[in-house]
Amino acid sequence: MPTAPLSDLSPISDLQWWGEQSFALGQTRSWQLGSLWLSLTRDLYEWRLEYHQPKRLSEYGLAWRSLDPEEALPQPIKLERYLFAETQAELLLLPRLADRSMVVKPINPIFIPAGQQGQLYVSTPLWLTAMTSRHTDPLFDLPIIRPNDTWFGPDTLKGEVCYATPVFGRTQLAHLPVSGLWAVTPIHFHNRSSRQLQLDRMNLPVDALPLFQSLDNGQLWTSEIEVTQESHTKPPKVRILQHTPQPAGRVRFINPPRNSDGGFFRMFDSFF
C-alpha cells in the first residue's frame, strides 16, 4: 500500500486531533481527549503541561474537542514544567501505541473449528506524545486512557507486566466504532490443527507494532497480526505482517514501533 509522508500533517477528517500546533508567547491551548483533559502553555523559557485524568476512567471514550479559553480543567490537576534556553512556537502532538502489550479478553468465548480461519478487528487506546523541532525524544508521553496493570504468563515467575482494559473487538470492520483515540489491529487466525480451538484471552504486542493513518477516513491502524495453529500440541505461530492492512486503504506512516527487537511474542497463555 502507498504510504504518505509525515511531513504533511493536514487533518484528514474530524477524527484527527493531533498535528503541528503553533503557540504565541504566553498562549494556552486546551483539549479534552476522551477522559483526558490537558492544557499546554508556552512561555519564553518553558512549556507547561497541566492535565486531569479521573480515577474512574471512561474506557470507551471516543470523542475529542478543543476547549474554550475560559473553560477550566476539572480537579485535581497535575502540573509538569519543561525548561528550555528559549522555546519555539511550534509543538508537534502525535498519537502513539501503548508502551506495553495489551491483554485482550473476549466478553464471549471465541471458537475456531478445525481447518477454519477467521478475522478479528481489535481497537486499543492510544498515548499522546509532544515533540519539539529540535529534539527526537518527546517532552511527555502519557496515556489518553490509562489501562489497568496486569500480569500475563503461565506463573508468577514467567511472564510480563501488561495492560488490561476493555477493548472493542469485532469480526466485521463495519461494526467497529470509529475513533481517533483508538487504533485498529487486524488479527487473522488459521486453525490448521485437528481440534477446535478456544480463545480465552490474548496478549496483543502493540508496543511492537507501527502506527498508520488511513487517508480515506482518518482512522488509525497498526500492522496485521497472523496467528497460525499447526498442531494442538504446540503453541501457535505469531507473525507481524510487514504490509499495511488492506481495509485501511491508502495510509501515511505516523510512528514506528516502540519495541523494534522483533522475535518471539507470547500472545496466548491458554489456546487449545
For 91-125, the pLDDT digits (tens) are 999 999 999 999 888 777 789 999 999 999 999 99
129, 180 contact by CB (below 8 A): no
59 falls in which pLDDT band (50, 70, 90)? low
Predicted local confidence at residue 16, as pLDDT: 92
For residue 2, pLDDT over 60 is answered with no
Predicted local confidence at residue 7, as pLDDT: 45
25, 88 contact by CB (below 8 A): no
Q: How far is it, in rounded angstroms, from Cα 168 to Cα 182?
A: 9
Whose CA is closest to 171, among 121, 123, 124? 121
Q: Which residues pair with residue 54 across a beta bridge?
A: none
Q: How far is it, in rounded angstroms, from Cα 270 to Cα 153?
A: 10
Predicted local confidence at residue 126, as pLDDT: 95
271 falls in which pLDDT band (50, 70, 90)? very low
SS3 label, residue 3: strand
94: exposed, middle or buried (Cβ count in 10 Å: 0-12, 13-18, 19+): buried
- Secondary structure letter of residue 208 according to DSSP: G
Report pTM. Answer: 0.88
For residue 201, pLDDT over 50 is answered with yes
Residue of 235 and 192 predicted with greater confidence: 192
In sign, the C-alpha dihedral spanning 59, 63, 64, 69 is negative
Percent of the chain beyond pLDDT 90?
56
Q: pLDDT (tens digit, 9 = 90+) per residue, 145-198?
A: 888 888 887 777 777 888 987 777 888 998 888 889 999 999 999 999 999 888
